[in-house]
Amino acid sequence: MIRVVAFDGDDTLWHNETIFSMSQERFEEMLAPYVDPKDLHARMLETERRNVEIFGYGIKGFTLSMIETAIEVTEGRVTAAELRALLELGKGMLAHPTELLEGAREAIVEVAETARVVLITKGDLFDQESKLARSGLGELFEKVEIVSEKDDARYRRVLRDLDVAAEEFVMVGNSMRSDVLPVVRIGGRAVHVPYHVTWALEEVDPAEVPEGGWWRIERLDELPALLSSVEG
């Protein structure tokens, strides 16, 4: 019996990683006079990996990491005007329209006919709330949980707050690391809907992937049929 179906937000219901990719490309173009784009890419990832422990996920941390990387790779030769442009790039990301993935609204509405539907999304509180508001999907969810990390402990707490048992819970999202692995580990089930880009920090070792407890679909419009077949 599936009582609660939880959706991830970024890259599951609305586009997100494409905005980061576009900004990363723009960042590389802007600093091309100083540094080879490939090298900048690697250095930026290094900075992000180091800073995620301090900043958490989200655009503000990404913007601070761009500024830090730009100063480091140019050994301080980057100009204040160029850094100012990086700041504006970050603000532009925060103001970017929330573009829904195809079939997102329909999938939520259809699933809501037979189960409670909630949103469990990771990242910056202010930015996630703002994106949710602009998505127009807010009123479809019984509850919205914005979390700083999606790990076993956090899912256990969310399930307790929702008063649902793990075996009655299904998580739907694009990240194996955040939406599938921890949920299956605590006894829940998951549906993986891959997005065409995956951030390096979300990648998983194939050896970690469990054999059962989860399914993969190509598009959200396959979700209602999958859930019906699971319930048999």
Minimum distance, C-beta of residue 46 to a second copy, in the bound complex (Å): 16
End-to-end CA distance of the chain: 9
- The span from the CA of 103 to the CA of 221, in Å, is 6
- Residue closer to a second copy by CB (options 63, 215) is 63
Token look-up 């707490």 returns 157
Stretch 172-231 residues interacting with a second copy (CB under 8 A): none
Q: How many residues are present in the chain?
A: 232
Instruction: Work out the number of other CB atoms within 10 angstroms of the CB of residue 155.
Output: 25
Pick one of 83, 100, 209, 226: the residue that binds a second copy (CB under 8 A): 83
Q: Phi and psi at residue 217, in whole multiples of 5°?
A: -125, 160
Token pair, residue 104, equals 């997102």
Residue among 32, 42, 87, 153 that touches a second copy (CB under 8 A):
87
CB 68 to a second copy: min, Å:
6
Instruction: Give the amino acid at 113.
Output: E
- Asked if 54 is part of the footprint of a second copy (rule: CB under 8 A), the reply reads yes
Q: Applying CB under 8 A, which residues contact a second copy?
A: 54-58, 60-61, 63-64, 67-68, 71, 74, 76-81, 83-84, 87, 90-91, 94-95, 124-127, 129, 146-148
